[in-house]
Amino acid sequence: MAEKFWTQIPYDKTIAEALYKSLNVSFLLCVILAQRNVTSRLEAEKFLWPKLTYLDNPFKIKNIDAAVNILRKVIDNKLHVAIIGDYDVDGITSITLLTNVLKNFGIVPDFFVPNRAYEGYGLSNEIVERILSGKKYDTVITLDCGTNSAEEVKILQKYGIEVLIVDHHQAKTLPFAKCCMVNPHIDDDKEHDKYKILCTVGLVFKLCHALLKVLRKANDQRVLNYSLKHDLDLVTLGTIADMAQLIHENRIFCKFGLKILNGKYRRPGIEALCKSADIPIDANIGQHDVSFKLCPRLNACGRITDAVLPITMMLSDNFDEAITYAYELEETNKERQLIEKEITEQAEKLLRNRYINDDGIVLYNPHWHSGVVGIVSGKCARDYAKPCIVLGHERDLAKGSGRSMHGVNLIDILNDCSEYLETWGGHPYAVGVSILPENIDAFRKRFNEIVKKHSTGKSKHEKIEYVHELTLEEIDNNFMKEMEALQPFGQKNPEPIFLLKNIKINNLPATFGVQKNHIKFWLTDRHSKRILTIGWGSAGNIPPIYVPLDLLVTVNRETWNKINSLRLNMVEWRRN
């Protein structure tokens, strides 16, 4: 495993002190804000207490006006619409959101999601053939795909179909003509770079916001029947699942979306999903529940079958119908977990035996299911602190996903390796690739060389950054309320890690979990206050008792039977 060292995140003390003088919060919270490049009182207030009114005018995003005109034409002329979306959570929530909005204005679109095994990803030739073989459509809208599908768009246009693309993937070539594309990555205006962090469901929300503004100005009374803010639950699911940066508008979306997920307007599909995931009805759903309980279940079908089922569930207005779909998803998710576990074990064994000295890891097995290899590559990247691409087999191609950490940009890496790839795309830290099996060895060699070049001068040890030293006595409800103001956590707004120094564990840690791979123990402060501490996956590295230790921890609030209690999660330990 990767060696790790601990370091405190640097911050400007002058900025922290200025924030402390202007805000009615603790100095510790001001330190964390300064570490996150929040430098003024106004920025701090927007960060800690965001409002929906802080959202930008949606028309600032390039081509939103043209996209609204297409949707108005669809609504005014009652045109037939097909929506094509990706099979991940971003695609699922994007389809659900746009479908719900269009239905409010009398348009019931048909949705198409590629079957991974037979139709590949996005706007493929196969999905185009399926659309053209059915009823006649006037408009095709692609969500979370289409940016790099120029030939497929031309085929649709040849049949007189207008195409609207809403996507957040980076373009490999200049956008093609005669097609409306809403994608911030084709916008050269540096002032609009903040929109590049939006995933597709965020862009769909902005598009729908713009549409409702125009229709409201036109005195369309149907606007009064739709409250777009209630769809922020969908935006939250897609944004968190896509590991988008939780800053700027994404932070506002998720802050309010979590309130919707926990409020009286929870949609039947979400209610059913929570029940199937054994989330108590009175539980406060946070980003951890979204990341590890809700989104994996929504993703499961798209990974190993197709994503029609979760979309149908999310569109349902009937709980009894939705719960049937949710339990089907649960069975599919269990199947996904078994497949993932087997592939992970094989991949890590292959990595250790053959590629442990490589700077960039490429693993391939023709028997691996390409739908789950992204999860496997993420685990390998975390455990070995190296960029990792894991490939399975799909339709005559080696196909899979890559994950990266510690500032190694996979988009830059793959740009220098693209001669060996059939297709590729994604984000700096998460990519999808397909490659001819006979090119894998050459690609692996080139990938390793480029990663090594990009990593020159960087530490090969994993770095764990903590925000500040803390004492057990400081951990109370007031402390927790301030930490909750920083939520939701994610990319560019990570959960704070704190250092506890010279701590002694006076009770033998107990293992728990189906595989007994987690541990729990109690820490006691000077006032005899006890705090439960959990070490997830730490059964193989249990800290000693009665010995002075330093611990890195995160702090959470746990709700059980409507009783709140504070809990620590151990990140790492070492002898003092």
pLDDT at 1: 44
The DSSP string of 510-524 is: EEESTTS-EEEEEEE
Say how far residue 217 (Cα) sits from the centre of its chain: 35
If residue 4 lies in a helix (H) or strand (E), which one and from where to where?
A: strand 4-8
Q: How far apart are CA 576 and CA 547, in angstroms?
A: 8
pLDDT at 3: 52
The DSSP string of 211-268 is: HHHHHHHTT-GGGGG--GGGGHHHHHHHHHHTT-B-SHHHHHHHHHHHHHHTSTT--H
pLDDT at 559: 67
**What global pTM score does this model have?**
0.89
Six-digit token pair at 184? Answer: 């911030």
For the stretch 408-436, pLDDT in tens is 889 889 999 989 998 887 778 888 899 99
Position 28, amino acid = L
User: In the sheet that 361-364 helps form, which strands lie side by side, from edge to edge?
Assistant: 361-364, 388-394, 397-403, 430-435, 423-427
Q: Strands 361-364, 563-575: parallel, antiparallel or unpaired by DSSP?
A: unpaired
pLDDT at 173: 61
pLDDT at 29: 97
Q: Which of 225, 233, 222, 310 minimizes the C-alpha distance to 267?
A: 233
The DSSP string of 121-182 is: SSS-HHHHHHHHTSS--SEEEEES--TT-HHHHHHHHHTT-EEEEE--SPPSSPPPSSSEEE
The stretches in the chain having pLDDT less than 70 are 1-3, 172-177, 406, 456-462, 559-563
pLDDT at 269: 96
pLDDT at 382: 85
User: Which residues share a beta bridge with 431?
Assistant: 402, 426
pLDDT at 175: 56
Six-digit token pair at 497? Answer: 């890690």
